[in-house]
Structure formats: structure tokens, C-alpha cells
Amino acid sequence: MRLGRIGYINCYPVYGAIDGGAVTAPAELVTGTPAELNDLLIAGELDVSVISAIEYARHARDLVLLPDLAISCDGPVQSVALFSKLPVARLDQATVLLTASSRTSVALLELLCREVWHVRPRFAQARAEASDLDALAGLPHDGVLVIGDPALLLAARGTATYPHRVDLGDAWKRWTGLPFVFAVWAARRTADPAAVRAIHEALLAARAWGLAHLDVLAERATRATGVPSDECRAYFAGLDYALSYKHLAGLTDFFRRLAAQGIVPDGSLQFLQVA
């Protein structure tokens, strides 16, 4: 079995125990950006992976969700943000670059522009990983959507280039009152259910270890990113890794809005059967 793993520190609370050997996952780990893992899972190159919420909705017929596991926030998320030279209300016809590494937050930004801010920027895709940030500055643009560790790094650089920083978790919460689910874990429907259940159990055990060792993980996150450890610790505190009713309410509210626009097929949620 091949299990997808995002390298961003937001996944440390779930994968940290596996990386450090505290929990053994019965699978070979494959690391990538969210967008890379999405495509590999859909292509059948992975059996189980963390994937963008929207990609579950796009491919729900081929996938089953892993119960009680997701990456969400209930307010500011820190690591998914629009960095803008203009206030959002002035982004009509402005150029906004979109990280190529994300799908869900791109769809969320487009919803916010259309339905909340009532602006129609011109969107263009761009690379926006940590090593791309300097090159990004050389591209003509009014705003840029950045996710993950590079978003934390860019925020740490201060407000000179982008005086307007909109946290997309916060914007969603203000709009809907709900948590926002960025990523879920899914398995291919054709994967062996017993093997998927074993991976699911390992992931839940790893999450339990991770949530009990956030200080250790914050230190590791600092070594990986250079972001101070108290900021990493505060970042973890704003994330949530469960998938209960309030998260499902946020997830399905996002999906119904996307389905209403024809962006994803209308559908339902199918979970892996567990005892």
C-alpha cells in the first residue's frame, strides 16, 4: 500500500509520529504537494492519501473517505492567505496569482471573490513554494494566493510588499460561521478495505501521539522552515484534525456551493466502513 503525505508542517500532527517512528504505518510513504498527491491518488499511484477537499468532491465515485480525519480550521488558519497590494474590494479586473500547489483554497478564493467581495480578478497560476517566493516577486501581479509553509514565511516577512493579507479560514468563518475543511483522507474504492482500515488505525494513533506532542513537533517545524517555534506552536493550535458534525457542516456547505456553480458534481459522502 502507498500512502500520500504532504511535506508541509500542517501534516506533522498526523505524520510526525510515523516519521519519528513512534507509530508504524503499514504502507510506503510518498511525499508531495497537495496538488501532486491529488493527481497520484486519482491516477491510482497511491492507495490512500491526504487530498484536497475539492478533489474528493470531484472524484467521489472512485474514493472513500477515512472517518474522523481531516485538516480544518475554525477561524484563521494562518497558512492559506491572499497576499494583496490592494484591498479585496478593489481586486476587480486586478491580476491575482494562484499557487499551483493547491486546489481547495483556489476554489475557496474564487467563491469569496464572487459571492462575498463581488469582484472578478484575472486569475493566473504560479509556482509559490518556498523556493519560488523571490521569483514570484518579479511577476507582475496585484495579489497572490499562497498556502502551506511558504504562506507562513511570507507572512513573517512583514507587510511592505503586501499590505493586505486575507486569511481564507477567517474569511470563510466570517461568511458562513463554520469551520473550513481544507483536506481529507481518502482511499481508492478499489483498495483492499482491511489494508485501508489498518492504515486508518495507524493514522488515528499517529494523530493521538501528535496532539500529545505538539511542542516536539513545533521544534521540528522550526528546523524545517525557520519559522520560530512559538509561531509554529500557535499555528498547530489553530488547526483541527477531526471530522465530526461541525466539520462535516463546513465541508458539505462548501461542496453545495461548488455544486451549485457546477464546479463539482453534486453528490454525497461515502466513508470507509469501520467497526
Which residue, 211, 215, 213, is CA-closest to 233? 215
Give min distance, CB of 216 to its own copies, in A: 28
Nearer to its own copies, 77 or 181 (CB): 181
Interacting stretch for its own copies, rule CB under 8 A, among 120-128, 136-144, 226-234, 265-273? 265-273
Q: How many CB atoms lie within 10 A of CB 132?
A: 17
C-alpha dihedral sign at 68, 74, 79, 85: positive
Give min distance, CB of 81 to its own copies, in A: 25
Nearer to its own copies, 12 or 255 (CB): 255
Q: Is 114 in the site for its own copies (CB under 8 A)?
A: no
Of 81, 106, 178, 221, the residue at the interface with its own copies (CB under 8 A) is 178
Q: How many of the chain's residues bind its own copies (CB under 8 A)? A: 23
Of 2, 165, 197, 246, the residue at the interface with its own copies (CB under 8 A) is 246
Q: Are 101 and 34 in contact (CB under 8 A)?
A: yes
Of 31, 222, 229, 252, the residue at the interface with its own copies (CB under 8 A) is 252
Give min distance, CB of 257 to its own copies, in A: 9
Block residue for cell numbers 496538488: 35
Give min distance, CB of 267 to its own copies, in A: 6
Separation between Cα atoms, residue 232 and residue 235, nearest integer Å: 5
Q: Is 204 in the site for its own copies (CB under 8 A)?
A: no
Give min distance, CB of 201 to its own copies, in A: 16
Q: Is 192 in the site for its own copies (CB under 8 A)?
A: no
Nearer to its own copies, 193 or 238 (CB): 193
Interacting stretch for its own copies, rule CB under 8 A, among 83-91, 106-114, 121-129, 243-251? 243-251
Separation between Cα atoms, residue 198 and residue 185, nearest integer Å: 14
Separation between Cα atoms, residue 210 and residue 22, nearest integer Å: 10
Give min distance, CB of 3 to its own copies, in A: 21
Give min distance, CB of 53 to its own copies, in A: 12
* Helix (H/G/I), strand (E/B), else coil: 178: coil
Nearer to its own copies, 160 or 275 (CB): 275
Apex 164 CA angle, 75 and 145, nearest 5? 70
Which residue, 15, 50, 73, 79, is CA-closest to 237? 73
Separation between Cα atoms, residue 91 and residue 142, nearest integer Å: 8
DSSP secondary structure of 131-158: GGHHHHHTS--SEEEEESHHHHHHHHT-
Scored b (16 or more CB within 10 A) or e, 22-48 reads ebebebeebebbbbbbbbbbbeeebbb
Contacts with its own copies, 46-85, as mask; x by CB under 8 A: -----------x---------xx-----------------
Chain positions contacting its own copies, by CB under 8 A: 57, 67-68, 178, 243-246, 248-249, 252-253, 255-256, 259-260, 266-271, 273
